[in-house]
Each structure stands twice: as C-alpha cells, then as structure tokens.
Amino acid sequence: MSANRLSWARRSRLAFDAPGFSWLWLQSLFSSITWTLEILTNGWLVLQLTDSPFWVGAVAATRGIGLFVFSVPAGAITDRFDRRKLLVITQLVPAAALTILAPLAIHGAARVWHVAVFSLIAGLSAAIDRPASSGLLYDLVGEERLLNASVFRFMAGSLVRMFGAVAGGYVIDRLGIGQNYVLAGVAHLAAAGCIMAMRAPVSVKAVTQPLFDAVRDGFRYAVRTPQVRQFLFLSLMTEGFGFSYNSMLPVMARDVLKVGALGLGYLTAASGIGQLCATVGLASRGDVANKGRFTVMTSIGFGLAIALFGLSPWYPVSLALMGLVGVMGSLYDAGMGTTLLLVASDAMRARVQGFYSSTIGFNQVTGFGVGVIATLLGVPAALAISGSIAAASALALLPRITRRPPQD
C-alpha cells in the first residue's frame, strides 16, 4: 500500500515498523546530544580563551577538516565492515578523548590546541559515522519508508536542540564549561550502547577491489552521474555557506546580542523548535513528490533565513529567525539525505554517502573563512554574506534540478 494512502497515525510512524529502527533512532538522539554539546561548548571555550571570532572559526574548521577529508574513503570502508561495529567505534573514540579534555576544562587547564585536537578526532569519527548510519538506515527501512525514517532522525536532533542546548548553556553559566564535556562523553557511551543492543541484518559486501580504486570509481560515478553531481554541488554550497553559521553563534550571542551562554542556549533551542515543527509536519505527510525541487527550494529559504538572522540586532527577532532557520534547515536536510540515497545506485550508495559527508564537513572548514570575514567586517556581515551565497547557489541550480526530477 502506498504511504500516502495510509491513515495519518500509521503514515506518521512508518519507519518504526521496521525492526531495529527504534534503536537507530535512539542512537541518533544521543549522537545529537554529543554534537550539540560539543559545538556549543567548543565555541564558547575558545571564545573565552582567545576573545577572537577568528580562532572560534579556526577551531571549528579542524573538526570539518577531519570530516571533509576522511569522508571520501570512509564511504568505501563502510561497505567492507559491519556497519554496527563501525558505529560503536565512532562513539567510543571521541568518548575516550573527552576523558582527557573534560578534566582539563574543569580545572581551567584547557588550551586552544586541546580543543582543536579533540575537534579533529570528533571529525574523523563523524566521517565514518555518517555513511555507516545512512547505509544502515537504508538497510533497515528500504526505499518506501526512507523519507519518514530520515525525518524521525532529524526530529531526534530537534528535540535535543530544544532542550539540550538550553541545558548546556545553563551548565556553562552555573556549573562550569567542563561539565558539558562530561555530559557529552556519557551521551557517546549511550549511543554506542544503542547500536550494541540492535538486532539487524549485517550488510558486508565481499569486496576484492582495492580501496584506492573503489574511491576513484566512486568519484568518477559522482562526477559523471548528473543527478548525483548536482545534488552534491548543492550540498557543498548549502553546507559550506549555510550551516557554517553554527560556528559563529557563540560570537553572535556574546558580542552582538549581548545575551551570554544561557542566551546562546535559547538561540540554539529556538532552532530546535523550528526543526521539530518542520519534522512533525513532514512526518505526517509520509512522503513528498519531486524531492529534488523540494530540496532546492528549502535550501533557498535556509540561506535567506541565515542572512536575515545575521542582520538582526534584536534578540527577540533573532530568536524568531533562528526558529525559521531550524524549519528550513531541517526540511533541507531531510530532502537532501533522502534524495541522495535514492538517486545513487546500489553499488555506489555508500560511496556517494561518503562524498555527501565530506560536503557536510565543508561547513566547518568554511567556518574558518566566516571567522576571517567576521574579524574584518563583523559577525552580522559574515552571516549575511554566507547565507546569501547559499541561497543564490541553490537558486541558480533550480532550473537544472527541476528539469529532471529525481526518483520519487
């Protein structure tokens, strides 16, 4: 039966009918906790240590470098090993790193290079985590329930951004910045536990092709396949010039809006509320026709929302605009994540996900560039410029995407 013909209640929870998806959703929830706490805390700690938007962006870039560079071979690697074991490793490695960083931060001994090294380790782990979790998601739910499953995973992130960001800001403000790293480490362990509890088919391909050749063939496929190439380009521009706003949020909160760590938490939570509204609405639909056009249009809206947020000097208006950023960003993420899984061939799906993860890493790499612009022109101008570039890039691609819509 088509997803769109099911009752509203059944259509909204299609993905949870798939065995094992509940554990993967919980893993997404805990992974979102780690990401939210780490990004918020890293930025605030570096800002305290250096008082410089440049260094906030530079340290954010170290996480992106690991994700951007290592994601390309990671896509091929995830075809060769049990994805569940890989996901456990990607949680345990940063948890181990946090056992060193957390005490340093608690005792006031943390330095910028400590945060940068941890960010690099987290980026390398995420490079494996993203294609492995996307491949496991496809294995669990199949094509018909894929968008619904993707939406629920993003919904996990929105719940965390709503409550976890405020809690993280409160912890920084009242208990100290190092305590957030302790919480992040516990969340990493919980995410690993969810994967270990999962009972799902193991997907490991019998691969004889050398790793370098597999990566090379994946690159050729991505470049020569029009739909894959176009959506990877869209992802590169949206991630690089749109989602890089995350690295500047601590500076925006402290230096422009004058609201402190707790105010930063509320800004992040406002984005989470927008995400939740978007994902609930999208989940209730079950599916979306012409996912290509949907993805491009939401990318345009996302870029414009970031530009407007950067130009707002009023905290209440900024909160509302962050809600809009959350709505458009969440819809874009769900559309892009689903579309790339559908347009790629079975043989190349994991490698395409590796390239997709690399574009996600690009948003943290370009955080360095945004930090440079913020140092020269101010944070509002940096966000307005980066958001406008993201929107303009998507708008330029719109006629090409809609001419040949992807598989629905």
- Quick check: helix, strand or coil at residue 27? helix
3-state secondary structure 368-386: HHHHHHHHHHCHHHHHHHH
**Is 28 part of a structural domain of the chain?**
yes
**Is 178 part of a structural domain of the chain?**
yes
**Is 179 part of a structural domain of the chain?**
yes
**Is 315 part of a structural domain of the chain?**
yes
Mean pLDDT of 45-54: 85
Q: Could you identify the residue written with the tokens 């992802």?
A: 235
Radius of gyration of the chain (CA): 20
Domain with residue 65: its CATH number is: 1.20.1250.20
Q: Token pair of 186, please? A: 């516990």
Mean pLDDT of 128-150: 75
**Is 271 part of a structural domain of the chain?**
yes
pLDDT digit string (tens) for 334-387?
Answer: 788 778 777 777 777 777 877 887 777 776 667 667 777 878 888 888 899 989
When divided into structural domains, the chain yields a total of: 1
Q: Token pair of 54, please? A: 């440049």
Please check whether residue 238 is in contact with residue 302, taking contact to mean a CB–CB distance below 8 angstroms. yes
Q: Is the predicted pLDDT of residue 139 greater than 80, yes or no?
A: no
**Is 348 part of a structural domain of the chain?**
yes
| Residue 276 structural domain | 15-196+210-403
- Which of 243, 275, 274, 249 lies closest to 264, judged by CA? 249
pLDDT digit string (tens) for 67-102?
Answer: 777 777 776 677 677 788 888 999 999 999 999 999
**Is 5 part of a structural domain of the chain?**
no
DSSP for 214-260 reads: HHHHHHHHHHHSHHHHHHHHHHHHHHHHTTTHHHHHHHIIIIIS--H
Residue 205 pLDDT:
57
Burial of residue 49, with CB atoms counted within 10 A of its CB: 0-12 exposed, 13-18 middle, 19 or more buried: middle
DSSP type of residue 295:
H
Please check whether residue 258 is in contact with residue 403, taking contact to mean a CB–CB distance below 8 angstroms. no
Residue 26 pLDDT:
86
Percent of the chain with pLDDT over 70: 83
Instruction: Output 353 or 388, whichever has higher pLDDT.
Output: 388
Residue 408 pLDDT:
41
d(CA 395, CA 299): 9
**Beta-carbon contacts of residue 328 (< 8 Å; ≥ 6 apart):** 274, 278, 298, 299, 301, 302, 305
**Is 306 part of a structural domain of the chain?**
yes
